[in-house]
């Protein structure tokens, strides 16, 4: 069992803040139907993207939030997750909720694969027997249980006995509390593996502290400011080659010229031929040449493939992962929303606009200069350079979804004619898709 004395510190016994840079309002609005979903990257000890933390923009995990209101917010969040029907097969989904929601029927509808509920005990939570039953049911279904550090809550010990994730909120903890919490949680007599989650990490020093004390997962604004790229660093030659291939594929080059250029990238050639010869496609003859591959793939599919591969990285750091997240999620988000708004229109321009909107950061060159070098459609050029045209409103929504600005998201969604529900579902779908794509990078 836990040595519970070690979990008492001299810090303020505060509940976690809502994720992100800006503190959540102390009394969130009751109109949860208009709340936008927010997702933040979670990294593992190898600095790889391990998953995401999802919450509602209006949500607050503060202890003084009324129980019924907090429950209403959490029910809305879980309903969005259930209705999206996304499976988290490759990465983890961390969901902060208050204990008041655990008895709701929506919990029984949650997918169990790679889902972790990070539980904040409600101040009014006193029924240990009912709470224990809820937690046992979650464990039996295979849903991960995390508990935020609340040593003064009478049911904290009970909850921690069921938890396989111990969670702390860095801004409320002194260094000695981080150390003691880690030691106590890892020393627990548990029948299942346990992990440590550190939330709202603000600085690289805080991240190093948590690494030192054996934390497994890390979330917070530190990842957006860590290890910035030097401005004068040359772009990756591999990216330059992929960009050249994009010019050929989208221009008037013959297949033979494209195939010759592709031969200069052996890894790309290997990936394409392996894909076309995989049993999943079920082709009745083997594809051995790039010429054959180009005919079967088609230029549209090859353009999409090359655009995604532009953002593949070897041994990525935090800033690399954030760039990958931005590009892939923007592209897929715009494509999913476009399928709803413009069902009879081609969606590849939407996907390419989202991907290309991050090219200036990837190649460290002005956007106008990059776009001028690519033979792309006028509507894509308009959206990226002038912020005008039919695609621009969806690009604005995709960019606002990364900014964690509720008002900006509301304005851009309204201008694009998209509902809050549509944006939330599309963001979940885009996140799951991006996770699947990056999982198979070599």
What's the pLDDT score for residue 141?
Answer: 93
User: Which of the listed residues 205, 225, 245 is the one where a domain comes to its end?
Assistant: 225
pLDDT of residue 59: 45
Residue 63 has pLDDT above 60, yes or no: no
For 149, the enclosing helix (H) or strand (E) is none
390 and 244 both lie in a single domain: yes
Assess whether 184 and 309 both reside in one domain.
no
Q: CA-to-CA distance for 250 and 300, rounded, in angstroms? A: 8
Between vectors from CA 230 to CA 229 and to CA 233, what angle results, nearest 5°? Answer: 105
Residue 122 is assigned to a structural domain of this protein: yes
Tell whether 77 and 125 lie within a shared domain: yes
The verdict on 69 and 204 lying in the same domain is yes
Question: Which has more confidence, 169 or 345?
Answer: 169
Residues 60, 14, single domain; the answer is: yes
Domain end (from 204, 225, 246): 225
pLDDT value of residue 416 = 95
Task: Indicate the average pLDDT of the chain.
Answer: 83
If one counts the domains in the chain, the total is: 2
Predicted confidence (pLDDT) per residue in 97-130, tens digit: 999 999 999 999 998 889 999 999 988 888 899 9
Q: Are residues 216 and 253 in the same domain?
A: no
pLDDT of residue 12: 41
What pLDDT is attached to residue 225?
Answer: 59
Same structural domain, 165 and 296: no
pLDDT at residue 381, as a whole number: 94
d(CA 195, CA 319): 25
Reported as a single tens digit per residue, the pLDDT across 25-36 is: 344 444 567 789
CATH number, domain with residue 303 = 1.10.3210.10
Give the whole-angstrom CA distance, residue 220 versus residue 40. 8
256 to 249, 261, 374: CA distances (angstroms): 11, 9, 20
CATH number of the domain that residue 125 is part of: 3.20.20.450
Least confident of 213-222, 310-319, 401-410: 310-319
Domain membership of residue 171 (yes or no) is yes
**pLDDT at res. 42:** 95
- Asked whether residue 187 falls in the same domain as residue 92, the answer is yes
Please state which of the ranges 285-294, 309-318, 400-409 shows the lowest mean pLDDT: 309-318
Structural domain range at position 433: 237-439
**Mean pLDDT across 177-187:** 91
Long-range contacts of residues 25-32, Cβ cutoff 8 Å, at least 24 apart: 25/58, 25/60, 26/60, 26/62, 26/64, 26/65, 27/60, 27/65, 27/69, 28/58, 28/59, 28/60, 28/65, 28/69, 28/73, 29/58, 30/69, 30/72, 32/56, 32/58, 32/72, 32/73, 32/76
125 and 15 in contact (C-beta within 8 Å)?
no
Query: Do 221 and 243 share a domain, yes or no?
Result: no
More confident residue, 411 or 271: 411
**Do 117 and 208 fall into the same domain?**
yes
pTM (predicted TM-score): 0.83
Q: Are residues 308 and 339 in the same domain?
A: yes
* pLDDT per residue as tens digits for the range 320-329: 888 888 999 9
Q: What is the pLDDT of residue 269?
A: 82
Phi, psi of 235 (to 5 degrees): -65, 155
- For residue 29, the model assigns a pLDDT of 44
Span between the terminal Cα atoms of the chain, in Å:
42
**Residue 230: per-residue pLDDT:** 47
Together in a domain, 218 and 291: no
Would you say residue 403 lies in a domain? Answer: yes
On whether residue 322 sits in a domain, the answer given is yes
Give the domain-ending residue among 225, 260, 285: 225
Helix ranges (DSSP H) in 263-403: 266-276, 290-297, 299-309, 318-341, 348-356, 359-363, 367-372, 378-381, 392-403
- In tens, the pLDDT along 238-285 reads 788 888 888 898 887 888 898 888 888 787 788 778 777 777 667 777
Strands (E) across 156-214 are located at 165-169, 195-199
Q: Write down the pLDDT at residue 28.
A: 42
> What pLDDT is recorded for position 434?
87
Kindly state whether residue 231 falls inside one of the protein's structural domains.
no
Of residues 266 and 64, the one with the higher pLDDT is: 266
Q: In terms of Cα–Cα distance, which of 157, 58, 66, 75 is closest to 110?
A: 75
Lowest mean pLDDT among 11-15, 63-67, 164-168: 11-15
What pLDDT was estimated at residue 413? 95
- Whether residue 232 is contained in a domain is answered as no
> pLDDT of 350-364, one tens digit each?
999 999 999 998 888
pLDDT band, very low/low/confident/very high, at 57 (cuts 50, 70, 90): confident
Whether 230 is covered by a domain: the verdict is no
């Amino acid at each position: 069992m836990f040595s519970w004395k070690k979990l008492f510190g001299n810090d303020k016994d505060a509940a976690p803040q809502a994720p992100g840079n800006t503190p959540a309002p102390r009394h969130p609005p009751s109109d949860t139907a208009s709340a936008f979903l927010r997702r933040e990257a979670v990294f593992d000890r190898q600095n790889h993207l391990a998953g995401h933390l999802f919450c509602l923009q209006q949500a607050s995990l503060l202890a003084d939030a009324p129980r019924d209101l907090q429950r209403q917010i959490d029910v809305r969040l879980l309903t969005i997750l259930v209705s999206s029907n996304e499976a988290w097969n490759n990465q983890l989904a961390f969901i902060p909720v208050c204990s008041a929601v655990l008895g709701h029927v929506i919990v029984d509808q949650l997918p169990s694969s790679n889902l972790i509920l990070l539980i904040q005990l409600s101040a009014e939570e006193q029924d240990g027997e009912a709470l224990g039953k809820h937690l046992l049911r979650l464990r039996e279904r295979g849903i991960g249980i995390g508990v935020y550090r609340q040593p003064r809550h009478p049911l904290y010990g009970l909850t921690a006995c069921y938890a396989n994730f111990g969670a702390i909120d860095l801004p409320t903890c002194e260094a000695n509390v981080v150390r003691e919490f880690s030691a106590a949680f890892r020393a627990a007599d548990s029948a299942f593996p346990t992990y440590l989650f550190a939330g709202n990490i603000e600085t690289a020093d805080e991240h190093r502290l948590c690494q030192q004390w054996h934390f497994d997962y890390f979330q917070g604004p530190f990842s957006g400011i860590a290890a910035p790229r030097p401005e004068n660093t040359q772009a990756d030659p591999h990216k330059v080659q992929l960009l050249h291939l994009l010019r050929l594929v989208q221009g008037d080059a013959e297949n033979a010229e494209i195939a010759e250029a592709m031969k200069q990238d052996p890894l790309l050639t290997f990936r394409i031929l392996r894909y076309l010869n995989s049993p999943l496609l079920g082709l009745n003859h083997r594809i051995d040449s790039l010429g054959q591959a180009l005919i079967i793939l088609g230029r549209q599919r090859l353009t999409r493939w090359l655009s995604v591969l532009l953002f593949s990285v070897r041994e990525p750091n935090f800033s690399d992962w954030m760039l990958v997240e931005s590009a892939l999620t923007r592209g897929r988000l715009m494509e999913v929303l476009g399928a709803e708004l413009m069902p009879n229109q081609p969606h590849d321009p939407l996907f390419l606009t989202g991907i290309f909107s991050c090219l200036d950061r990837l190649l460290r060159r002005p956007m106008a200069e990059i776009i001028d070098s690519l033979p792309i459609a006028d509507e894509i050029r308009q959206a990226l350079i002038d912020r005008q045209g039919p695609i621009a409103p969806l690009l604005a929504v995709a960019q606002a979804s990364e900014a964690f600005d509720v008002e900006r998201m509301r304005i851009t969604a309204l201008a694009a004619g998209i509902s809050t529900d549509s944006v939330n579902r599309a963001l979940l779908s885009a996140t799951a898709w991006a996770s699947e794509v990056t999982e198979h990078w070599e």
